[in-house]
Amino acid sequence: METLDPQDVATYPLSKRLKQATQWQHDSVERSMSALRPFESRDGYVRLLTVQYGFQRYMMAFYRDAALVEWIPDLPERCRYSDTRRDCEDLGIDLAALDAQCPPALPLSSPAALGWLYVNEGSNLGAAFLFNSAVELGMSESFGARHLAPRETGRGLHWRTFTRYLDAIPLSDSEKAWAIAGARDAFVHVESLARPLAHISNE
Ligand code: HEM
């Protein structure tokens, strides 16, 4: 990802501050996802999908939260849980077993939840690369890779609309700090989903 100058960050809008504060975590998660060797085989892709499903399932409640929807009106339509679930069904993944392993989402303050949303919405940008590789494995926007497919409006506009809403939310400095802590926790959560599967990919 592009690097921001830390000197200027305090003056940046929240979306940019979140980016700066989590850049190294993004790079680490990117490495962890690559360690799943997701595009070498269908089994590898199932590992990636398992991580995505765990994260989308955990995030589901955030997209229905009335206080968050007030700030981000198109939030419910942004939720990728159903698409990810159908992708898993396409590939015959045992969802009952996965569901049994998924912890319920912990209640969070709204500012912290914004940080989690930033991480999940931002992951749509990198999904462009993942989608293209998934297509080479036989996946498509109607089979196995629905959750990675671009939205009708295009990824760029979809993301800019989100950051416009995010950056317009009136938050105090301490609430912004909560948002940053939320984004950090979200990346930690994704890592915790990916790491155990990386061992399987090396067996
Ligand atoms: C192999 C896996 C991944 C690759 C190759 C990747 C790659 C990328 C790339 C290239 C961008 C910048 C796109 C642009 O600016 O147009 C990006 C942005 C982003 N990615 Fe990833 N990514 C991966 C996984 C993830 C995951 C698992 C998450 C979180 C769940 C994530 C969260 C983000 C966020 C939040 C941004 C937006 C950063 C910003 O501009 O504020 N990425 N990713």
Residue 123 pLDDT grade (very low, low, confident, very high; cuts 50, 70, 90): very high
Number of domains composing the chain: 1
| Best CA proximity match to 179, nearest among 165, 192, 164, 166 | 166
Give the domain extent around 173. 40-201
Angle at Cα 187 formed by Cα 186 and Cα 188, nearest 5°? Answer: 90
Residue 16 domain-assigned (yes or no): no
- Interval between CA 21 and ligand 1 midpoint (Å): 14
pTM of the model: 0.94
Residue 199 pLDDT grade (very low, low, confident, very high; cuts 50, 70, 90): confident
- The residues facing 143 across adjacent strands are 140
Residue 20 domain-assigned (yes or no): no
CB 144 less than 6 A from any atom of ligand 1: no
Residue 22 domain-assigned (yes or no): no
Residue 138 domain-assigned (yes or no): yes
Give me the phi and psi of 59, to 5 degrees please.
-80, -15
Domain of residue 179, CATH code = 1.20.910.10
- Interval between CA 189 and ligand 1 midpoint (Å): 15
- Interval between CA 119 and ligand 1 midpoint (Å): 8
Q: 148-184: per-residue pLDDT in tens?
A: 999 888 899 999 999 999 999 999 999 999 999 999 9
Residue 9 domain-assigned (yes or no): no
Measured between alpha carbons, how far is 144 from 151 in angstroms, rounded to an integer? 16
Residue 3 domain-assigned (yes or no): no
> Residue 56: which residues within 8 A CB-CB, separation 6 or more?
79, 80, 81, 84, 85, 120, 147
CB 183 less than 6 A from any atom of ligand 1: no
Tell the residue number behind the tokens 């989402």, with chain if given.
Answer: 105
- Token pair recorded at residue 108: 């969070």
106 and 52 Cβ atoms separated by less than 8 Å: no
Burial classification of residue 187, based on how many CB atoms lie within 10 Å of its CB (0-12 exposed, 13-18 middle, 19 or more buried): buried
Residue 140 domain-assigned (yes or no): yes
Which atom number of ligand 1 is nearest to the Cα of residue 163?
Answer: 41
Residue 168 domain-assigned (yes or no): yes
CB 49 less than 6 A from any atom of ligand 1: no
Q: 68-106: per-residue pLDDT in tens?
A: 999 999 999 999 999 999 999 999 999 999 999 888 888
DSSP 8-state secondary structure symbol assigned to residue 105: P
3-state secondary structure of 143: strand
Measured between alpha carbons, how far is 104 from 71 in angstroms, rounded to an integer? 24
